Amino acid sequence: MKFSIFDRPSEDRPMLALGLLLFGVSLLSLQDSLIKLFAPHTSFWQLQLIRSSFNMLFAIGLAALAGGFHLLWPQRLWPAVARGMLLAVCMLCFFGASQQITVAQMATGLYTYPLFITLLAGPVLGERIGPWRIGALALGAAGCLLVLDPFADGGSYFQMVPVLAGFFYACNVLVLRRYCRTESPLALAFVVALVFMLTGFGGAVGLEAFKAPASWQQAVPFIFVGWPPLAIGMVGVFACFSALNLIGNLFLSRAYQTADSSWLAPLDFIYLLFVAMWGRVLFESWPAPLAWLGMAMIAAAGIVTAMREQRRDPSSAPPAQAGSGRRE
């Protein structure tokens, strides 16, 4: 019997889809929060290399169950590789300042991606940007400033780094729309894992061969240390990250197969709430009232963008549906 996780259900079941989405988002937000928690014990490059190795093994196993290893190879290799590189830079920006800012600020920066899609859709896809999307852009930008608060006493440029993650993630969505719409999700996941593994290896070797200045290593060790001492227990932690990543994405994929994406897409922003919850549990931090307002504004802007996108082209997946690929 073939593995059927990728088969589309025969009928829509919105409440089941909602449960699947909530569970998937909770696991992915937990993974992101745990990576911040364990960041002092590893480096970004070590994380990328080992976690992506597990991801590749899981992808190979799924391909074997799903009908053959041909499912791992994309029809168009270079767009899939370009998407993998964009996601690698996205992850670097997303986790790069994890030791300097809160997990809620990390999530807020990333979830500006619908705003960047709006900005880029005109020059890249030739789409017309109407007043609704311009209004959503302004609302989301104001909300982002409320959460990140870069001009507060003690603020720093670290607070704006996750916004770059939102930009590169938006670029990934546009590549996905334009060049990778017909690719198998398994092939896309495999290529991303391969790119992550190679960039992790390259970064670790490069930083071990050419040491960054000591002041850089002390300020941001997660990025500027290539290969810190690796405890055996951390390998198990990386395997857990990979499992959370895989299970979370499978639940999200199944959710979008089980109900209309235009109904589910706005709910993807509940990730911000889950991240705040994990931040409270793991770090005893809780967003300030203005930060909550800012996250609500960002979610509202993303929901407006997704709804206008669906109205413009009902056959296209809204940005949030592609969003699950961020955690590949």
Q: Residue 116 is encoded by which pair of tokens?
A: 């960047």
Selection from 33, 26, 22 nearest residue 106 by Cα: 33
Helix, strand, coil % over all residues of the chain, rounded to 5: 80, 0, 20
> Tokens 């994406």 map to which residue?
261
Q: What is the pLDDT of residue 298?
A: 87
Which of 77-91, 177-191, 254-268 ranks highest by mean pLDDT? 77-91
pLDDT tens-place string over residues 202-258: 999 999 999 999 999 999 999 999 999 999 999 999 999 999 988 888 788 777 767
DSSP 127-162: ----HHHHHHHHHHHHHHHHHH-TTSTT--GGGGHH
What distance in Å separates the CA atoms of residue 167 and residue 180, rounded to the nearest whole number? 19
DSSP letter at 227 equals: -
Q: What is the pLDDT of residue 206?
A: 97
Selection from 53, 88, 37, 98 nearest residue 221 by Cα: 98
What distance in Å separates the CA atoms of residue 328 and residue 307, rounded to the nearest whole number? 25
What distance in Å separates the CA atoms of residue 127 and residue 129, rounded to the nearest whole number? 6
pLDDT at 327 over 60: no
Selection from 306, 296, 290, 209 nearest residue 256 by Cα: 306
Q: Chain-wide mean pLDDT for the chain?
A: 84
DSSP 51-72: HHHHHHHHHHHHHHHHT-GGGG
Question: What is the pLDDT confidence band of residue 2, given thresholds at 50, 70 and 90?
Answer: very low
Q: Average pLDDT, stretch 10-34?
A: 85
Q: Residue 138 is encoded by which pair of tokens?
A: 């302004």
pLDDT at 318 over 70: no
The 3-state DSSP class for residue 113 equals helix
